[in-house]
Amino acid sequence: MSILNNALSGALASQLALSASSQNIANLQTKGYTRQSALLTANAPSAGTHGAGNGVSVSSLLRFSDSYKTQQLWRTNADLGERTQTQPYLTQLEQVMGDDESNLSSGIDSFFASLNAVAGVDPTSTPLRQQVVTTGGLLAQRFNSLNNVFNAQLQSVRQQRSAIVDSANSAIASIASLNGQIANAMASGTNASNLIDARDQAIDSLANKMALEVSDQPDGTRNVSLKTGQSLVLGSVAGRLSVEGGSSQVFKLAFAGTTFTLDTAKAGGQLGGLSSYEQNTLVPLQQGVAQMAQQLADKVNTQLQQGYAMDGSPGKPMFVYTPGSSSNMLQVADGFQTADLAFSGDGTAGDTGNLQKLVGIANGSFDLDLLGTVMIGDADTQMVGKLAVESSQNQAALSTAQSMRDQADADWQATSGVNQDEEAVNLVEYQNMYQANMKVMSVANALFDATLAMMG
């Protein structure tokens, strides 16, 4: 009986639609969940011109997803990851290098001020000479302390990158595995929405670590590659990242029997942000400070060796510069005494000829790879200023990246997120649909019984 069959199909369709809405409501707070809805299709009538139709069926479960919005979500996450990882390091260096109590500028000023004090009072005064040795030692400590900060940051950056690689490999393997499950589910006609959601979350997590290019395939899988072109996932085949070396890390990607060396500074995301910071900011700053320490030591030592100590003997170096030292890059030479300060230019104890030349070093210049030729008193200030500009630019980029991510997330939610009010309306509508079809079935049964009674 067509009336009964139509009503039955309507009741079953409304049940499936109610089930989809209930699933949406159940996952109202589930991160990354994509809402679904039953797609109802009218069944065509049988042969003949007098049939109204054969009821309704659920042709598929729709998954409300916009590929562009999803891709935008991943792109903004990569930008956010890149800026987020860099800012804490920039902020720390700004605070350390800009601190009046510990910066290099004030240390250099104090050292040359102590030389001026000797020149203006008495070049043979032991307390004033001791002040020169003391401020020289304090200056060396400032260089060493700053170098220790650089080394600590380098170690932290390298440890973070290694951890990012491990986490990325886990996400890559998960995406490849989910690709295989999704392809199998779609081939068998099974709803794969939950698997797709899980894969999208894995891709989003990976995108925060490195910028990605993602392409959809006809079988439902997604291929994932770095923005520089190297494949990370093709179907259910996963690549694997690795890190080699200690202080000089080399990053490689093994995929399908082939190994590629990666330039992580171009990778984007957290990995790219950390690598770019190390290569373009941290290492150049450390080299600049090391060059300052070396050239200052050379200038002072060279001038001291051209003068005479208190006993008339030739002057000897005051500073020892050790390149590559982790904690003692610059220090006052062991056993160096106040009497060893070669202030005299002619060998007499009260002469200040060489002392005046030592004081004049403050008006000289440094030749630094980072800044070029700069005045000794301006070198540290210019470094701090350059660092402040980079930090300010990154903070602005971070704010923009966060805004873009928030907007992308809002756009995604507008399409794919669950709307509680909308689902409440759907529940009422599908409930009414179910009850109406049950009423039709009741009418059909009454008609059938009446027909039997007439025939009986």
In the chain, domain spans: 2-64+418-455, 66-416
The amino acid that residue 304 corresponds to is L
pLDDT of residue 119: 87
pLDDT given for residue 38 in this prediction: 92
Taking a C-beta distance cutoff of 8 angstroms, is the pair 324, 330 a contact?
no
Residues 6+ apart with CB under 8 A from 87: 391, 394, 395, 398
Q: Look at residue 276 and give its three-state secondary structure.
A: helix
- Cα 441 to the center of its chain, rounded Å: 61
pTM metric for this prediction: 0.88
**Looking up tokens 């050239």, which residue turns up?**
295
Give pLDDT, residue 52: 79
CB atoms within 10 A of CB 33: 19
Are 171 and 202 within 8 A, CB to CB? yes
**Which H/E stretch holds residue 330?**
strand 330-332
pLDDT < 50: residue spans in the chain? none
